[in-house]
Every structure is written in C-alpha cells, then in structure tokens.
Structure 1
Amino acid sequence: MEQKSWLILAIFTCLIASSCGREMHVKNKDNHAVYNHTLATILVEYASAVYMSDLTELFTWTCERCNGLTEGFEVIEIIVDIQNCLQAFVGVAKNLNAIVIAFRGTQEHSIQNWVEDLFWKQLDLNYPGMPDAMVHHGFYTAYHNTTIRPGILNSIKEAKEFYGDLDIMVTGHSMGGAMASFCALDLSVNHEAKNVQVITFGQPRIGNAAFASYYGKLVPNTIRVTNDHDIVPHLPPYYSYFPQKTYHHFPREVWLYNLGVESLVYRVEKVCDGSGEDPTCSRSVTGNSIADHLNYYGVDLMCQQWRSCRIVMDPRVSEYGKTDHKGNFILSRDPATLVLKSNMRSTEGEVTSSA
C-alpha cells in the first residue's frame, strides 16, 4: 500500500515538473496592430459614452461624454438588452472614416461580485470551427445569444448601404471588451468584413491559448489596453502549470503604468510582445485594483450613478424604437434622416437585472 502511494506521488510530481516553465505560446507571425495613442484616446471616449443611461442624449449624441474627440458622431442604432443589462451602440465617425461599435461593460455596482465569479470560471465552450479552441461561456453568450448581435449586424448593413464600405472599429471596456472581441471575430469570420480594428480597455481573458492563436491570426489589428494594477485583465486566472486548460490573452497588449518617485512621475505606454501574456507587462504586477479598472487615459469608464440598469428617455425618442416581447429594445434611425436634438427632455425609468 505504501509502495502504491509513493508511485502515485511520483507520477503526479513528474506531471507537474513536465508542465513547469512550459507555457503555451500563441502562434503568430508578429503581424499585429501598431499602437496608435491618438486612436486609443478617441476610442476610450466611445467606450465611456456607452455607459450613459440617458438614451435621449446618447441617441442624439448630446451627452456630456459625447463631445471632445468624438464630437460629430452620428448614432445609427442603440441596442439595449434589458434581461442581461447589456447595452451597445453603432454609428459613424466621419473624422475616422469608420463605423464605430461600442459595448458597455459590467455595471460598477456589481463588479465585486463579478470579479469573485471569474476566479472560479472554467473554459466550457468549444468555439465553432476552431479545433481545441475553448472560450468563456458567459462572455460568448453575452454577444452571440442576446439581442445585441442581430442589432449590431443590421445597423452595420444600414450604415454601409448609406456611407459605403467604411472601416469598422470595435471597442469596449471590461466585459464590453470581451463582447467587442467576439463581435470583431464574428464580423471577420462569418461576415467577411475587411479592415476590422479593435481596441479594448481592461478586458478579461476570454479563451485558451488555441483560441488566442486563432484570434490573433483572424483579427490581427487588435490592441488590448491594460492599466497599471487593474484587476480584470488578470481574470480568469492564468495557470502556467496547466497550459492546455488555462485562459490565455490574445495579442497585442499595451500596458499603461506610472514610473518615477514622488513628484517625478511619468506615464508609460508599453507596447508588449506578441504572446498575449508578456511577463514584463501587466502580468509583472499584482492585479488588485478596481480603481485602475474604472479609469483609462483619465477617462471614467463607469455609469454616472450607482444604480442597476437605470435608463432615461424622452418619449419622442421612443418613436425610433422597437421593443420585443421580453422588453428588450432598439433605437434606430435611417442614416439619411436627422434626429431632432432640441427641446427633448428625458423621463426616468429603471430596470432591475441580475447582470
């Protein structure tokens, strides 16, 4: 009996030893996106604006976050999935000559519970058409199995019919970044979209190394921006001892962090290697800050008020809306028409969701 116990221990030790230091490497030809600071600071404003709860101001692009570098943006569609507390918009940025798609992240009032959840999440979904690629079921479902996806696809079609074959830029923060990534992959693989560019902020891991390799090849023009000790990019956890079964970021990461002492502090924007898991970037520090998660480039990425799925809307805006039997709705307009922006006053409504 004692001999058997020693044998089991020896086998287990050998397995651990053989895994140690043998992390899975994402296969790539180093053809990933070139980091553009200016573009990142523009798209982070879109990622911030999608958190706005006043849909009148968002639809007419008159909200307090709808100016600055995003001024003049024309919203084509806002999609709100009431059941899952999800929100996204699609529109045209003429200064970028592009369609911009932005996904809202997790409501900040539920981030703590959401973070705790991610510590225990396991890979549980085979990604269609990608052998050995596995992804996080919740993030995949949030994009693919809700009202978000059909709304996005329809609005892209309408925008292209009116404006022509524009580039597509996809962005989002936190879980919104995860949804943005699945959206970009969907557009590239299933809809043969060209010139799809992605910049996300504080995005969690969404798949394993096999998935990351496929993603890097199919959507190479992707930047994941991480901020200092932001906790979310460290989740779900990366376990180097179990390379086949662990979550793995896809490339390319840009890590923002402060360097200096006392008053001499410099902001560094480090472009990381093509592995997706550069040990000298965000993985070099402990991910323990929610504050670092909620602000990128000095821009707040959260809702204005600490409330669950709060929305307000002028009754006249509802003329642009369609609601399904579950209460989910879409605000959309024909790109050729203008939306009346003056004398609109929103009325408050609140929807409670478990998201």
Structure 2
Amino acid sequence: MERRRWLQAAVLLCVLALCSGRELKIKRTPIYNSTLARTLAEYTSAVYTADLTQLFTWTCERCGDLTEGFEVIELIVDVKNCLQAYVGYASDMNAVVVVFRGTQETSVQNWIEDLFWKQLDLDYPGMPQAKVHSGFYSAYHNTTLRDGVVNGIEKTREAYGNIPIMVTGHSMGGAMASFCALDLVVNYGSKDVTLITFGQPRIGNAVFASHFNCYLPNAIRVTNAHDIVPHLPPYYHYFPQKTYHHFSREVWVHNVGLGSLVYSIEQICDDSGEDPTCSRSVSGNSVQDHLNYLGIGMHAESPGSCRIVTGANTVQCKMDNDGNIVFSKQPGLSADQLHSSQ
C-alpha cells in the first residue's frame, strides 16, 4: 500500500510538471500574483453584499480578511439597468480599487442562455476593424457607472496621491471592468492600471483583443475549471476575425491528480487569448464553477432588499430621473464616523 502511494505521488508530480510547465517558464516575469488575485476576488465577492449600508461602511461579513480596512469612496447603483460598482482606497496596497458587480444569481441562467446569441455589433471608437458587443460596452459607457467610477477615482487620487488603479469584476462585472480599464488608459491617460477579472465572457473580436493587449499587456482573466461563462459568446475558430475572441492573459484554475491525490493549480496560459490547453481544453458546462473562484463565493447573499446610508453630514446622495443612485463621501472618514452620524 505504501509503495502504491509513493507511485501515485510520483505520477502526480509528473502531471504537475506537464500542466504547469508554461507557468514555470513565465515566472521570471511577474505577470500573475496569486495573492493579489485572491485579494481582488475578495473585493469582488463583497460587491454582492445585499445590505448597501454594510457595503458602503465596509462592515459586511465579506469585508474582512485580505480586504480589512478598505475605505469605500463611491458606491454607484444603476437601478434601471440593475448594475452596481464601487470605488475606494486600499491602504495596504496604497491603491484605488474599482469593483463591478456581475449578474444577479437569480438571473444567471437566463443571462447565460442569452450569451449564446450575442453578436458583434459595435465598432470600438478609434480602433479600426475592432468590434465588440454593444450590450457589454454600453453597460459601462452608457450608464451612470462610468461617471460615478471616474469621479470616485479622481476623488481618491486627490486625497491619496497619484496611486495605482486596480480594476476587477466577476461575470458581466468582469466585462465592464475590462472596458473600464481600457477607458482609463485610452481616454484618461492613466499609466498604472491593473486588471484582473473572474469568469468573464468574451467581449470583442480578435482585432479588439489585439488592441486591448497593446494597452493592457498584463491584464489577467482568471477562469475556473468548467465555468461555462468564459466559453461565451461562442468562439468559432473557422472565422477568427469575425467571431468573439478573448484577450490575454488567461489563468486557468483547475484540479489535477491521480486517485485520492488531488492538487489545485493556477495555470498561466499562452498569450493568444484562446489557449487550447487551458479552459478551452474542457467543456464549459458548469454554472456552479462560475459562482466560486479561488474558494470564494461570487454570488448574492440573499435576494433581499438593500438598506441605504442616510447620514446627511457625511454622505452625498444623488438620484437621477430613473432612480439611479450614487453614494459618496470624502476620503478619510472611518466606518465608526459614518455610523455615528446616522
């Protein structure tokens, strides 16, 4: 029995070497930071908090561990389009963090079904032959999110200096995060933008992906096991210029092993955006794999209604004719100060 276990261990080591060989070669370049990815996954999980008061004051159940002490500056709720994002200051990383919420769990299945029929129908401004899906593009550019996010970033940088910007999101939130990061670089001239998304769908064609890689060469898309969403909208390899195409770089999280010996690896994929040895090597058929990343839940706590912050002395609340809301505060106010003013 002992000899058999040693043999299994030896085979597992060989499997790991084969699966992670590309990762070992790339380690000379700090293209992927596992700790940073886990940290941003926790920020992404927090955006699904049902109670907006707890999210805004960073006192929610998910607002701890690697994200403890975070300061929310701007919380944007687009009621009309069921979209949400927040911006704040992470003192431990000395960075602005921007987070976009993904599709609500109750509508994920319908959204996934719709993704099968998404069409490339919009020319991305300033990028000849680059086409994207107008729905993903508009969710960021043509709603209250863009102005709210940009305002939050500017406010945070005014208070804490010209610090780096980290943008993240899960599912459709990852699609919006990608357009946001590109927008910050192309249209606002930001130089230090980090993008890590989780389980995001394809958002444009190969030409768009090529442009995207030029502006954000170190962007990371984390995919999980058999998550169905990174496989959508479908990629038709017979029509590479007219089909959806992921930008690079993918990091595929999956299990490898033999028998009872199982090991989770984070495989760094090639720079094609469509590495056939990564998530494309398996069938994308799992919604459950879409709702959990790096051991962290990426779904709403409950379908309950949200409660809002009403402290008139510290919170400025703006509402437009469609009922969309932006909560904001001046940087430097602690959660205790927010609570004491209500």
1:122 aligns with 2:119: yes
**Partner residue in 1 for 2:69:** 72
Structure-2 separation of matches of 1:343 and 1:302: 30
2:236 is paired with a residue whose SS is coil
**Partner residue in 1 for 2:8:** none
**Partner residue in 2 for 1:144:** 141
* Matched letter for residue 311 of structure 1: C
CA offset digits 1:202-230 (Å, max 9, x no partner): 00000000000000001112000000000
**Partner residue in 1 for 2:44:** 47
* 1:312 aligned residue (283, 307, 316): 307
Structure-2 separation of matches of 1:294 and 1:134: 28
**Partner residue in 1 for 2:129:** 132
**TM-score under structure 1 normalisation?**
0.85
* Matched letter for residue 306 of structure 2: I
Q: In 2 relative to 1, CA 294–143 (structure 1 residues): closer, same or farther, beyond 3 Å? A: same
1:111 aligns with 2:108: yes
1:288 aligns with 2:288: no
**Partner residue in 1 for 2:96:** 99
List alignment gaps of at least 5 residues for structure 1. Answer: 1-30, 346-355
Tell me by how many angstroms 1:319 deviates: 4.3
CA offset digits 1:154-178 (Å, max 9, x no partner): 1111111110000000000000000
Structure-2 separation of matches of 1:247 and 1:326: 32
Tell me by how many angstroms 1:241 deviates: 0.9
**Partner residue in 2 for 1:85:** 82
CA offset digits 1:29-74 (Å, max 9, x no partner): xx99611000000000001001112111111101000000000101
2:311 is paired with a residue whose SS is helix
**Partner residue in 2 for 1:8:** none
Within-5 A mapping of 1:331-350: 331-339=327-335, 340-342=337-339
Tell me by how many angstroms 1:268 deviates: 1.1
* 2:272 aligned residue (272, 275, 280): 275
Tell me by how many angstroms 1:305 deviates: 1.3
Structure-1 separation of matches of 2:146 and 2:123: 19
When the two chains are superposed, the root-mean-square deviation of aligned CA atoms in Å is 1.7
Structure-1 separation of matches of 2:222 and 2:298: 13
CA contact (8 A) 1:232 1:293 kept: yes
2:306 is paired with a residue whose SS is strand
Alignment coverage as a number of residue pairs:
313
**Partner residue in 2 for 1:321:** 317
Structure-2 separation of matches of 1:59 and 1:204: 28
Structure-2 separation of matches of 1:299 and 1:343: 32
Structure-2 separation of matches of 1:300 and 1:158: 30
Structure-2 separation of matches of 1:106 and 1:177: 10
Structure-1 separation of matches of 2:29 and 2:172: 22
**TM-score under structure 2 normalisation?**
0.88
CA contact (8 A) 1:32 1:251 kept: no
* Matched letter for residue 290 of structure 1: V
Structure-1 separation of matches of 2:338 and 2:248: 41
* 1:297 aligned residue (288, 294, 299): 294
2:207 is paired with a residue whose SS is helix
**Partner residue in 2 for 1:7:** none
* 1:184 aligned residue (181, 184, 193): 181
Q: In 2 relative to 1, CA 264–344 (structure 1 residues): closer, same or farther, beyond 3 Å? A: farther
Of stretches 234-243 and 258-267 in structure 1, the one that deviates more from structure 2 is: 258-267
**Partner residue in 1 for 2:203:** 206
1:312 is paired with a residue whose SS is coil
Tell me by how many angstroms 1:197 deviates: 0.3
* Matched letter for residue 324 of structure 1: D
Structure-1 separation of matches of 2:307 and 2:303: 15
CA contact (8 A) 1:32 1:252 kept: no
